[in-house]
């Protein structure tokens, strides 16, 4: 079991909100859904693989308390840093959620 005191980073969980753009398309914005405490552990940075990437990509593992409903469309915010959710899995019998995420540096 993880020490709850290690969940020391305050993140905002944002959910996607889609609205029409007036031309048959969709505009996606995000709305805050919850504020959560997390443990964020960075991994080695790697160069971005996008065609227009000019910054490195940082992969992290984020651990939260369980009970949070996630999809890959959600994102986590820490100030100006935006974490894109790649995958997640329950830990400790569902008491925790471990998230693989990435952010641009």
CA–centroid distance for 47 within its chain: 19
User: Over 80: is that where the pLDDT of 12 sits?
Assistant: yes
Query: In degrees rounded to 5, what are phi and psi of residue 12?
Result: -105, 125
Topology of the domain comprising 7-104: Thrombin, subunit H (2.40.10)
- Work out the pLDDT band at 41, boundaries 50, 70, 90: very high
Which residue is listed with tokens 């990509």? Answer: 57
Mean pLDDT over 61-81 rounds to 94
pTM of the model: 0.83
């Amino acid at each position: 079991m993880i020490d709850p005191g290690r969940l020391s980073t305050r993140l905002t969980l944002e959910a996607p909100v889609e609205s029409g753009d007036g031309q048959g398309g969709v505009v996606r914005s995000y709305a805050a859904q919850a504020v959560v405490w997390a443990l964020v552990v960075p991994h080695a940075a790697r160069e971005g693989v996008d065609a227009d990437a000019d910054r490195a990509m940082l992969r992290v593992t984020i651990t939260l308390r369980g009970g949070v409903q996630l999809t890959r469309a959600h994102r986590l915010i820490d100030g100006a840093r935006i974490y894109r959710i790649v995958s997640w899995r329950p830990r400790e019998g569902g008491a925790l959620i471990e998230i693989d995420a990435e952010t641009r540096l």
